[in-house]
Amino acid sequence: MMNALTPTVPQADPGAAYRAQKEEIDAAIARVLASGWYILGEEGRAFEAEFAAWLGEGQHAVGCANGTDALVLILRGLGIGPGATVATVSHTAVATVAAIEMAGATPLLLDIDPDTYTMDPDELLSVLEEPPPGLPPIRAVIPVHLYGQAADIRPILGPCREAGVKVIEDVSQAHGATLGEAKLGTLGDAAAFSLYPTKNLGALGDAGVLATADAELAERIAALRQYGWKRRYVSDLVGVNSRLDELQAAVLRVRLPRLEAANARRQAIAAAYDAALSGGPVSPPMRRPGATHVFHQYVVRSREREAVQARLKEQGVATAIHYPMPVHAQPAYAGRVPLGPAGCVETEAAAREILSLPIFPEMTEEQVERVCSALAAL
């Protein structure tokens, strides 16, 4: 039973992930400290090779400073910037939209499918057919695989290819999830992964990685991330500084082999929540048929969200909202970024009703049970 001394179940706990792997991580960090080489070295190269191999045959991976930069580097590597529109969703981490503007392009924000919270492919197909007036041509689309689940990108891949529109997957919340036979991140022209500490694959600080099957694009981006250097001190391209450091790469090498098990644990926790919610007033999240969900977040929806959140809090269960304000409603973007013809109506409704329950692989059985009994009592 809950009493005043029972600690709250946190919504996420990156410290628990470190403690669970302390020996291996400490050894990896000590190895880098002793090596005397801290940026773009053997650890980074090994992580890139291991990540590319994990993702799939023929993939090339380039490490960088964070997930936002991974998107910016892909856009720049593809030559997409000023004079181009990039379609994405408003229901995402602001980083997705910020990256488009950092590259100099114009974002176009589309609505979501209300069951899976991911881009409505029909709206994308309609803007490809009939581009919104007054905008530069659409050159790329960034579908976001949200909460651990694939966006419905199969219907858009063919039309995008025909129209010369690049598909850049934002896989920052879905490392290891699949759509059909394919791992997310292998379906489009390139893919960006944030490796922020709370992501399914996370570093102990900022980190990111991008992947593509296009070897030339990977090579160009590898130069762009370090001042445009292909050889030392000579900039063949106008680049930036967005490097992955050796400490983070070494930590990620400890964690990559454990990702599948960590995702399986997230799925088991999700199944326990499904059972606890069954027959109650709040429905479990929908799963896209033919896809695997890796539960970066377990998101429920309720018109009485604030009441549900308060009742869970009373039971010692922390929750979060991802995200409470759509990008197009945020002060820096409101009235300025163009929306698609659907006007982001479903996005706004979702932002009012969604709630993310605690989910992280190191949750103890006792913590899971505590959340389940709070859910069963809703």
Ligand X SMILES: *Cc1c(COP(=O)(O)O)cnc(C)c1O
Expressed in percent and rounded to 5, the helix, strand and coil fractions of the chain are 40, 15, 45
Q: By C-beta, is 356 or 367 nearer to ligand X?
A: 356
Between 170 and 246, CB nearer to ligand X: 170
Q: Which residues make Cβ contacts (< 8 Å) with residue 46, sequence separation at least 6?
A: 249, 253
Element containing residue 301 per DSSP (H, E): strand 298-301
In angstroms, give the least distance from the CB of 355 to ligand X: 17
The stretch among 12-20, 41-49, 60-68, 359-367 that binds ligand X (CB under 6 A) is 60-68
Select from 370, 163, 154 the least CA-distant residue to 276.
Answer: 370
- Residue from 106, 173, 248, 356 touching ligand X (CB under 6 A): that is 173
**Interaction of residue 93 with ligand X, rule CB under 6 A:** yes
Which residues lie closer than 8 Å to 199 by C-beta, 6 or more apart? 67, 172, 173, 175, 193, 296
Q: 257: helix, coil or strand?
A: helix
Residue with tokens 């129209």: 163
The one among 59, 85, 96, 106 contacting ligand X by CB under 6 A: 96
Name the token pair of 370.
């505590």
Q: How far is the CB of 88 from ligand X (least distance, A)?
A: 10
Q: Which residue is nearest to ligand X (CB)?
A: 67
Stretch that binds ligand X, among 51-59, 90-98, 269-277, 280-288 (CB under 6 A): 90-98
The yes or no reply on residue 59 touching ligand X (CB under 6 A) is no
Which H or E run contains 96?
Answer: helix 94-102
Q: Which of 201, 166, 199 is nearest to 95 (CA)?
A: 199
Residue matched to tokens 């059972």: 275
Of the candidates 301, 294, 356, the residue with the CA atom closest to the CA atom of residue 149: 294
In this complex, which beta carbon is closest to ligand X, that of residue 20 or of residue 94? 94
Q: Is 95 in the site for ligand X (CB under 6 A)?
A: yes
59, 149, 186, 194: which one binds ligand X (CB under 6 A): 194
Count of positions (residues) in the chain: 378
Token pair 């370090």 is at which residue?
A: 226
Q: What is the nearest approach in angstroms of ligand X to the Cβ of residue 110? A: 15
**Least Å from the CB of residue 196 to ligand X:** 4
- Near ligand X by CB under 6 A, which window of 9-17, 33-41, 89-97, 159-167? 89-97
- Using rule CB under 6 A, residue 297 touches ligand X: no
Residue 185 binds to ligand X (criterion: CB under 6 A): no
Instruction: Calculate the dihedral angle through the C-alpha atoms of 214, 168, 181, 179, rounding to the nearest 10 degrees.
Output: 170
Candidate list 11, 68, 242, 263; residue touching ligand X; CB under 6 A? 68
Q: Which is nearer to ligand X, 96 or 356 (CB)?
A: 96
Q: Which residues contact 196 (CB under 8 A, 6 or more apart)?
A: 66, 67, 172, 202, 203, 206, 207
Minimum CB separation from ligand X for residue 93, in Å? 4
- Of positions 59, 85, 88, 92, contacts ligand X by CB under 6 A: 92
- 3-class secondary-structure state, position 221: helix
How many chain residues are in contact with ligand X, going by CB under 6 A?
A: 14
Binding mask of the shown chain, residues 208 to 227, with x at each position contacting ligand X by CB under 6 A? x-------------------
Q: What sign does the CA torsion over 124, 125, 128, 129 have? A: negative
What is the Cα Rg of the chain in Å?
Answer: 21
- Residue 172 binding ligand X, by CB under 6 A: yes
Region of 66-74, 231-239, 278-286, 327-335 interacting with ligand X (CB under 6 A) = 66-74
Q: Is 110 in the site for ligand X (CB under 6 A)?
A: no
* Pairing verdict, β 138-141 and 166-170: parallel
Position among 47, 117, 196, 298 found at the interface with ligand X (CB under 6 A): 196
Q: Is 144 a binder of ligand X (CB under 6 A)?
A: yes
Binding residues for ligand X, rule: CB under 6 A, are 66-68, 92-93, 95-96, 144, 170, 172-173, 194, 196, 208
